Structures are given as C-alpha cells and as structure tokens.
Amino acid sequence: MCGIIGYKGQRNASEVVLNGLKALEYRGYDSWGIASLSSELDVVKDIGKIGKWMIEDIDLSKSSLAIGHTRWATHGGVTTENAHPHYSLDKRFAIVQNGIVENYQDLKKELVQKGYNFKSETDTEVIAYIIQEELKDKELIEGFRSAFSRLKGRNAVVLIDSVSGKIIGARNGSPLILGVGDGEYILASDASPIVKYTKDVVFMQDNDVVVLNDSYHIINSVTGEEIDREVSHVSWDIKQAQKGDYPHFMIKEIMEQRTTVADSIAQEKDAVMEIANALNGAFGTYAVGCGTAAKVCLAATYAFSSITHKHINFSLGSEFPSYHHFLTDKSLLLVVSQSGETADTLEAIEVMKKRNGKVVSLVNVMGSSIMRQSDYALLNNVGPEKSVCSTKATTAQLAQCILLAYAAADKYDEGMNLLKDASNKLNLMLNDQFCNSIKKLACKIVDWESMYVLGRGLNYSIALEASIKIQEVSYIHAEGFAGGELKHGPIALIDKGTPCIVFVANDDVKEEILGNAMEVKARGGYIIGVSPEDNSIFDFWIKVPDVGDASPIVNIVPIQLLAYYLAVEKGCDVDMPRNLAKSVTVK
C-alpha cells in the first residue's frame, strides 16, 4: 500500500527513482510523483499509472538525489494536488509519506492558526508544514526528528532538502529499508527496487531516522542518539521480480508453485521442532491473519485439530484485540503475513506482547516488522510475490502450517513425506492441458455475475479463499460457504445455471459435501467439482491429485488459475486490481 523510494549517488537519481516506482507498482496505487534536486528542487506528479512513462518524458534535470512515491488514496481523492511529494511552503524541501497521521486534524488546526495555507486534502502536507515550523529554531535533522516524534500512527516519511543536499527518512510502524551500495544509497518501502543495485540492506526499525549524505548514519527519533544497525544480505534475485516471458505476474507466480511448495518446507528440522514444541506448550493459541492469510490461519485450525488433536483459536487480525481478556504469558500467537507489514496483524502482535505471550510468524519478507517482533519465524522462501492476488505465498503458508501440525504431533517425517508428495503431484498437475481446460471453463462462465463455492472441514477455508481469488481479480461476485450452511439461507441464491464450485476431498466429510452439491444441482446449479475422482453430480470436473491432509494446497491452485483466466477474459488489470493494495500497512 503506497511505495516510497529515495536515491543518493552517482547515477541519474530521477531515473533510478522512476524505475524504482515501477518496481513498487504492485503495492497498489492511484497516483505518483518524483522530487529531484539539481540546481533547484523540482517536483513532477500525476494520477494514473507510471508504467508507460520513460525518463525522457519527465521534465526533471539529471541529478544525484531524488525521492518518489506511489500513492494509494486515504485522505483526499485521487488528484494531482493530493499526489506526493508535497513541498514545504518555502519550497526548501519536499516530502513523501506512507501511513496515516492519526492526529493530523489537531496538527492541521494548529498550523492554520499559525497562518499556513493548505493546497491538498492530505495528512502528508501537515507533516511538511510541521517540519517547516520546527526549522524556525532548529537545524534540519533536529527539526525533522522533532516533527516526526509528534506524529501518531504508523508512518514512514522521507524528505529531500535543497539547502543541505541531504535525504532524511524515518519509520514508525510502516516499512522502510536502506540499500547500501558502493557510494550510493537507496531508501525504499521494500527490497524490490533495491536489489537491482545492491543486496546489502539495513532493515530500519521503529523510531529510526536515517540521514543520507556522503555516507549514512541512523539516529533515534526520540533521543537523538546514534544507532548502529546491522547490514543484512538479501537473497532475492532481480529476475524473480520480473515477469520474464509471462504476460502477468499472477500467472508466473501460479506456475512457480511447481517448486515453491517444496521450497517452503525446506527448513531446518530443529527450527520447525522448536516452534512445534512452543505450540504444544502454549495454553491458549491463536492463529491470526488478514485477507488470504486469514484463510490460511483458518485452515491451520482444522489441520491442528485433525493431525495434532490440538485446539487453536482463529481470529481476523483486526478483531484480535477483542480477545485480550483471555491472554496470559502462556498464550501463543501464530501469525501469517506475506509482506510481514500488515497493520492489523502488527496490532495483534502488540496486544499479545502486552500480555507477555509468545509470537510465531510465517512471513515471506526477511527482516519485515512482523518477523522482527516474533519469538520464532519461518520464511516462506518463495521469492518476491508481485501480483496483488496472493498465490504462491498462500500455498507455501498452507504447507508450513500442515508441517507444523505434523511436527507438533511428533510426526515430522510423515508430514515431510506427505508435503513432498503433494509438491511433486502439483508439479505434474500444472501442465498445458490442465491450464487449457481451466481456460475453457473460464470462457464458459465468464458472463455470470455471481458464483458460489462450497467446502467442508479442511476445505471450508479453501472455499472462502477461492471466493476471494475470483472476487479480487475478475470482479465477479463470489461467496464461499460451509457446505452444511447451504440450507440455512444461501441456497435461496441458486438459480438455473448458477456456477457452484465444490471441493470434494477423499476425507471423512466427502459424502456430506457431495450431498450439498446435489442440493445445488437439484435447483439448477452448474456444479464444478474439484476432486481426485469424477462424480455424476459434476457438470465440470477439475481433477486434482489425492494428497490427504495436503488437499487444500492442490485444491486452491485450479481456482487461482480460474480467477486469472476470468480476469483476462474480462480485460481486468490482473496484477493490480482496482481499489486493492498488496501490502496493507494502514488500519
């Protein structure tokens, strides 16, 4: 959600920032802008997509330092005036920001009383003027630090100053990473625009302020004390963040699941067993996530019940604070997040930490906020996921949850063998013939305005996840239900020809879910069966391998493909669906 980049070095900073903003497009945005310093500080910004722009099209002089931003509207509509960067009134500096300034109304009222005139509707402009006000009696770094400390909420702010030629960045709850190159430095919201130039990074922590000049130094925003942060090495390859020969990131990432499930379970056994022991020793365990990650968490509760015979509570990240009454120092939070920066999930961790409970995280981004705040963490190991619609991270997280359930049941080797088998069979399943059959199905049902998805047991959560996939990329209304709930209301929505996807695994609820499918068919529904075996109830059969407890992994993949082909048929923006962001860093 929004993207920040800043560069200082020997290259053309405006071009580095432009290319960096293109690398950050996947985060979701509706406008963009660049501030560049050569003989003077210039700002160019616009609404819409940045992908079509080349450096020759942008009226910015060659320079050695620049900052840029992709904005996802929160305060104020999608307009050029509201796009970042925002100047100070005296045009000495410009700033960009990710996050929400929760106390911006109070700050704005104070500034208006002091004579400041606002040109935008954003909370970001407030930050610029607060900094300008602080600079009346303070030096740049002290004034920036003082202003940043007045902001409430999760924020990352980057400033470019025309007087000193410095770039200053700070974070509190919203991600910011420093890339350390050979005589050059890059600030960015994530590693995507950095790895082209360097793989050495500093993961900035809350209340860190970094100053870029001929070198860099980091200070604490509250105390002003200098901080020594470790330089880490990221393993992502720039090719992993490119589409290659694929038309979209989404289809590339779907097909990468031929190997990413196996990559996700390639963990040190001791690390897995340590987490399993922590899960077994906890009294009151909660699985928490948002969006797709929440569906993974729900699947985990079923997996632990079935495999480990252990009860795990489920909660959406945004709802978890309501459970704080039940938390103790023996409680444990299992959190799932692709980005590791999800705001509601971070708040859930804060709630657990206040009760001195433990946190286990499954994340895809090394050094992310969630990973750093966890007592135990497993990386998904799937490489960058650029499409807003999560695919390969989802199946990786499902695999890791299932592995943890087997490990907690003291059946680690059995779990590894099951998941390796599932990975091998998924690799064989994802062939041209299979993809073409899903594409034909998409063409058949693309004109329907609504469809429904049914599942039971482990695959109930997959029914919910399947409906999200279809909604978010094809904009077709889809709803997932537990099969047993059908006759309690949703069956009234079934009309002649209404598509209904049904997940049928070879498990102890097979007969019940087939019965639910029959109820839909009897009312004219078009049954799409996802199952290892065909059935006369199915009007269209999607054959998936029989992999036991790992069925959620192989079952969701064909619906990922279906959602993709539906979106392509409808001409939707597959990788960047409307109104959505990849990393939801605001509440």
548 in any annotated domain: yes
Give the tens place of pLDDT for each residue, 322-342.
Answer: 988 999 999 999 999 998 988
Kindly state whether residues 346 and 481 are assigned to the same domain: yes
Give the tens place of pLDDT for each residue, 138-150.
Answer: 999 999 999 999 9
Closest CA to 528 of 538, 543, 519: 538
**C-alpha distance across the termini of the chain, in Å:** 11
222: its two tokens: 């509250």
Residue pair 123/154 in contact by the 8 Å Cβ criterion: no
The answer on pLDDT for 251 being more than 60 is: yes
Helix axis angle, 412-429 to 392-408, nearest 10°: 160
Say whether 261 sits in a helix, a strand or coil.
helix
Q: How far apart are CA 484 and CA 473, in angstroms?
A: 28
Kindly state whether residues 472 and 530 are assigned to the same domain: yes
The answer on pLDDT for 75 being more than 80 is: yes
Mean local confidence (pLDDT), 105-126? 94
Residue pair 173/206 in contact by the 8 Å Cβ criterion: yes
Kindly state whether residues 179 and 264 are assigned to the same domain: no
- Residue 270's CATH number: 3.40.50.10490
Say whether 57 sits in a helix, a strand or coil.
helix
The answer on pLDDT for 472 being more than 80 is: yes
Kindly state whether residues 469 and 348 are assigned to the same domain: yes
> In this prediction, what percent of the chain has a pLDDT beyond 70?
98
Q: How far apart are CA 523 and CA 526, in angstroms?
A: 9
> What single DSSP character describes residue 546?
-
Lowest mean pLDDT among 121-125, 308-312, 482-486: 482-486
Q: Which has more confidence, 27 or 8?
A: 8
Place of tokens 């940045």: 50
* Distance from the Cα of residue 481 to its chain's centroid: 25
Q: Which residues pair with 161 in a beta bridge?
A: 93
3-state secondary structure 402-457: HHHHHHHCCCHHHHHHHHHHHHHHHHHHCCHHHHHHHHHHHHHHCCCCEEEEEECH
Angle at 256 between CA 255 and CA 259, to 5 degrees: 125
Q: How far apart are CA 155 and CA 241, in angstroms?
A: 26
2 is known as an active-site residue = yes
The answer on pLDDT for 308 being more than 80 is: yes
DSSP 197-232: T-SEEEE--TTEEEEESSSEEEEETTT--EE-PPPE
Kindly state whether residues 165 and 254 are assigned to the same domain: no
Kindly state whether residues 453 and 327 are assigned to the same domain: yes
Q: How far apart are CA 467 and CA 573, in angstroms?
A: 18
- For the chain, the average pLDDT equals 92
Residue pair 573/480 in contact by the 8 Å Cβ criterion: no
81 in any annotated domain: yes
The answer on pLDDT for 587 being more than 70 is: no
Contacts of 160 (CB under 8 A, 6+ apart): 6, 35, 37, 41, 65, 66, 67, 85, 93, 94, 95, 166, 167
Active-site residue among 2, 290, 297, 401? 2
Q: How far apart are CA 324 and CA 350, in angstroms?
A: 10
Of 221, 239, 257, the position where a domain reaches its end is 239
Band (241; pLDDT cuts 50, 70, 90): low
Say whether 172 sits in a helix, a strand or coil.
strand
494: its two tokens: 């079934």
Q: Which domain holds residue 450?
A: 249-570
The answer on pLDDT for 368 being more than 90 is: no
pLDDT at 239: 60
Q: How far apart are CA 19 and CA 508, in angstroms?
A: 52
pLDDT at 449: 87
Q: How far apart are CA 102 and CA 123, in angstroms?
A: 9
pTM above 0.95, yes or no: no
Residue 59 burial (CB count, 10 A)? 8
582 is known as an active-site residue = yes
Q: How far apart are CA 369 and CA 349, in angstroms?
A: 10
The answer on pLDDT for 447 being more than 60 is: yes
Mean local confidence (pLDDT), 363-384? 91
- Residue 51's CATH number: 3.60.20.10
Kindly state whether residues 189 and 271 are assigned to the same domain: no
Kindly state whether residues 323 and 456 are assigned to the same domain: yes
154 in any annotated domain: yes
Band (76; pLDDT cuts 50, 70, 90): confident
381 in any annotated domain: yes
Give the tens place of pLDDT for each residue, 418-437.
Answer: 999 999 999 999 999 999 99
pLDDT at 345: 94
Kindly state whether residues 101 and 221 are assigned to the same domain: yes
Kindly state whether residues 256 and 216 are assigned to the same domain: no
Active-site residue among 45, 199, 358, 582? 582
AA letter at 538: F
Of 212, 239, 266, the position where a domain reaches its end is 239
Place of tokens 């929505």: 493
> What single DSSP character describes residue 90?
T
585 in any annotated domain: no
576 in any annotated domain: no
Give the tens place of pLDDT for each residue, 534-563.
Answer: 999 999 999 999 999 999 999 999 999 999
Kindly state whether residues 220 and 254 are assigned to the same domain: no
Of 195, 216, 239, the position where a domain reaches its end is 239
Give the count of domains, the chain. 2
Q: How far apart are CA 441 and CA 569, in angstroms?
A: 11
Residue pair 160/228 in contact by the 8 Å Cβ criterion: no
Closest CA to 355 of 333, 322, 329: 329
Kindly state whether residues 280 and 313 are assigned to the same domain: yes
The answer on pLDDT for 492 being more than 80 is: no
Q: How far apart are CA 8 and CA 215, in angstroms?
A: 10
580 in any annotated domain: no
HSE-CB at 95 with a 13 A cutoff on CA atoms is 27
582 in any annotated domain: no
pLDDT at 215: 92
